[in-house]
Amino acid sequence: MILIADGGSTKVDWVALDSNKNEVFRTQTLGLNPNVVSSEELFARIKNCDALKKHQNEIKNIYFYGAGCGTETPKIILKNILVDFFSATINVHVEEDILGAVYASAKNKKSIVCILGTGSNSCYFNGNTIEYISPALGYSLMDEASGNYFGKKLLRDFFTKKCLIKWPWFLKKILI
């Protein structure tokens, strides 16, 4: 069985395929960004997923495309965790999330590919390899298209009285 994961900092979407490329199951876990989550918590988030536990000895190949997996150290951390949990696995590939987005959308054509989620990222794909136009500088320096950016903007506007929306009662209790 093949397991493919689209991993962000907030959540990971998993899909398993049999040898005929038929979908066996889909599931979701909390985010698995090795730059912001400890190794112990990464393992716990995988272990706490019933669908992954149920099939953990059937998975032979894993393709994980995730936020925070653009450099060698986080890749190794996550790869080791996946190998520990999926003991029958033969091959584990951990790559950055933008590569998964390229595979899913570009189909070997020249493309600009963007990820818009908790964080944001973009690249130019020349049909063969990724060429970065702008590095992902994270939520503290850039990330103007991310959910994090818009959340901060909304809160800033609320507290400086620039926000004209009516806040639900439960948000007023949390924020004020």
Fold of 1-105: Nucleotidyltransferase; domain 5 (3.30.420)
**In sequence order, what DSSP letters do the residues of the chain get, joined into one string?**
-EEEEEE-SSEEEEEEE-TTS-EEEEEEEE---TTTS-HHHHHHHHHT-HHHHHHTTT--EEEEEETT-SSHHHHHHHHHHHHHHSTT-SEEEEEEHHHHHHHHHTTTS-EEEEEESSSEEEEEE-SSSEE-SS---HHHH--TTSHHHHHHHHHHHHHTT---SPPPHHHHHHH-
For the chain, the domains span: 1-105, 109-176
Residues of the chain with pLDDT under 70: 118-119, 133-147, 163-176
Residue 144: predicted pLDDT? 65
Residue 150: predicted pLDDT? 74
- Render pLDDT for 43-63 as a digit per residue (tens, 0 to 9): 999 999 999 999 999 999 999
Residue 120: predicted pLDDT? 72
- Render pLDDT for 76-99 as a digit per residue (tens, 0 to 9): 999 999 999 998 999 999 999 999
